[in-house]
């Protein structure tokens, strides 16, 4: 099971160092078997800790698809390599809302693929697409041009209408979408969208679900630990 945590714009170096220490102590005693954690902290927190457990890794929430250059305000591959970052989040709805269209998402994916990075590709529909029953067609358009056979690809289904609302999609909806995606790729499939300790056990039992992408429920370390524990209940 993959537990991916998107901190968004939360945590400083100091707070993440404390977080990582507590999480590391818990994880060292946890019966994790094939489980792993991927944490996507803010860029500024990369050097805030040393994660010793190989089953806890850091990823970048965003990057510009270049090694370096005249890209004011952007983080490029050379900066990520300094911290040993080789996992990236691509296509998150909050990035798309800022103007990252499918073409740019594909460019980021291709760059990451060339670097042999692990890519967590986010796909998901808004409430209008959902209500019109066009979700599968919409997701197919988001996947167009993506190498779905890339061996380091992970796909996270995040219905925009569920993110941050406290209400995850119904199990039958998640099952339907993950089934659809499983026919397109053999990549691990995650669900994200108001995942918490109350619903994670249900979500992780859905066929084809290989894990979760967690937002606000991961920002406090005890909340994230409780969520991981609840997944095994």
At the fourth CATH level, the homologous superfamily of domain 2-230 is: Aldolase class I (3.20.20.70)
Helix (H, G, I), strand (E, B) or coil at 183: coil
Among positive and negative, which fits the CA dihedral 150, 1, 201, 18?
A: negative
Contact of 67 with 32, CB cutoff 8 Å? no
Closest Cα to residue 39, out of 28, 51, 22, 26? 51
Spatial distance between the Cα atoms of 211 and 208, rounded to a whole number of angstroms: 9
pLDDT one digit per residue (tens) for the chain, 233 residues? 999 999 999 999 999 999 999 999 999 998 888 899 999 999 999 875 667 677 899 999 999 999 999 999 999 999 999 999 999 999 999 999 999 999 999 999 999 999 999 999 999 999 999 999 999 999 999 999 999 999 999 999 999 988 777 777 899 999 999 999 999 999 999 999 999 999 999 999 999 999 999 999 999 999 999 999 999 87
For 190-200, letters b (16+ CB in 10 Å) and e give bbbbbbbbebb
Spatial distance between the Cα atoms of 171 and 104, rounded to a whole number of angstroms: 31
The residue ranges of every structural domain in the chain are: 2-230
Q: Give the catalytic positions in this structure.
A: 92, 158
User: Starting at the edge strand that comes first in sequence, how are the strands of the sheet with 118-123 ordered?
Assistant: 56-58, 36-40, 2-6, 209-214, 189-191, 153-157, 118-123, 87-90
């Amino acid at each position: 099971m993959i537990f991916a945590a998107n901190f968004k714009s939360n945590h400083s170096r100091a707070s993440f160092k404390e977080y990582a220490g507590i999480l590391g102590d818990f994880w060292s005693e946890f019966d994790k078997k094939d489980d792993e954690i991927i944490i996507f902290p803010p860029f500024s927190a990369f050097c805030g800790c040393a994660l010793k457990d190989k089953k806890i890794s850091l990823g970048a929430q965003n990057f510009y698809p270049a090694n370096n250059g005249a890209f004011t305000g952007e983080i490029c591959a050379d900066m990520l390599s300094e911290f040993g970052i080789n996992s990236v989040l691509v296509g998150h709805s909050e990035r798309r809302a800022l103007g990252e269209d499918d073409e740019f998402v594909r460019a980021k994916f291709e760059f990451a693929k060339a670097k042999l990075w692990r890519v967590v590709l986010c796909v998901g529909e808004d409430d209008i697409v959902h209500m019109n029953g066009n979700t599968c067609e919409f997701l197919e358009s988001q996947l167009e041009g993506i190498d779905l056979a890339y061996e380091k690809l992970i796909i996270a289904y995040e219905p925009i209408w569920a993110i941050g609302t406290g209400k995850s999609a119904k199990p039958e909806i998640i099952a339907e979408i993950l089934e659809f995606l499983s026919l397109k790729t053999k990549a691990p499939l995650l669900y994200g969208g108001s995942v918490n300790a109350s619903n994670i056990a249900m979500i992780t039992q859905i066929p084809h679900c290989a894990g979760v992408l967690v937002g606000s429920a991961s920002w406090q370390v005890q909340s994230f630990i409780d969520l991981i524990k609840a997944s095994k209940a």
